[in-house]
Amino acid sequence: MLGSTDIRVSPVAFGAWPIAGMTSINVNDADSLATISACLDVGINFIDTAYCYGAQGESERLIARALGPRRDEVVIATKGGIHWGPEGSQVLDGRPETLRRECEESLRRLETDRVELLYLHAPDPKTPIAESAGELKRLLDEGKTRAVGVSNVGVEGLAEFHAVCPLAAYQPPYNMLQREIEADALPWCRERNVSVMVYWPLMKGLLAGKLTRDHVFDAKDGRRKYPMFSGEEWDKNQDFVDHLRAIAAEVGKTVAQVVINWTIHREGIAAALCGAKRAEQLRENAGAMGWRLSTDQLARIDKAIAERGTPVTRRAVR
The predicted-structure confidence for 88-140, as pLDDT tens digits, reads as follows 899 999 999 999 999 999 999 999 999 999 999 999 999 999 999 999 999 99
pLDDT-derived band at 314, boundaries 50, 70, 90 = low
User: For this structure, is 53 an active site residue?
Assistant: yes
Residue 178 reports pLDDT greater than 60 = yes
**Looking at the domain assignment, is residue 243 inside a domain?**
no
Reference 161, options 118, 112, 110; nearest CA is: 118
Tell me the per-residue pLDDT of 187-211, one tens digit each, with 9 for 90 and over.
999 999 999 999 999 998 899 999 9
Which of 51, 53, 119, 170 does the annotation list as catalytic? 53
Residue 316 reports pLDDT greater than 70 = no
**Looking at the domain assignment, is residue 198 inside a domain?**
yes
Tell me the per-residue pLDDT of 273-307, one tens digit each, with 9 for 90 and over.
999 999 999 999 999 999 999 999 999 999 999 99
**Looking at the domain assignment, is residue 16 inside a domain?**
yes
Residue 223 reports pLDDT greater than 90 = no
Tell me the per-residue pLDDT of 31-66, one tens digit each, with 9 for 90 and over.
999 999 999 999 999 999 999 999 999 999 999 999
**Looking at the domain assignment, is residue 306 inside a domain?**
no
**Looking at the domain assignment, is residue 244 inside a domain?**
no
| CATH code for the domain in which residue 114 is found | 3.20.20.100
Residue 317 reports pLDDT greater than 50 = no
Q: Which domain holds residue 269?
A: 12-206+256-290
**Looking at the domain assignment, is residue 126 inside a domain?**
yes
Percentage above 90 pLDDT, the chain: 89
**Looking at the domain assignment, is residue 143 inside a domain?**
yes
Mean pLDDT taken over the chain: 95
pLDDT-derived band at 152, boundaries 50, 70, 90 = very high
Counted domains in the chain: 1
pLDDT-derived band at 313, boundaries 50, 70, 90 = confident
**Looking at the domain assignment, is residue 308 inside a domain?**
no
Tell me the per-residue pLDDT of 237-278, one tens digit each, with 9 for 90 and over.
999 999 999 999 999 999 999 999 999 999 999 999 999 999
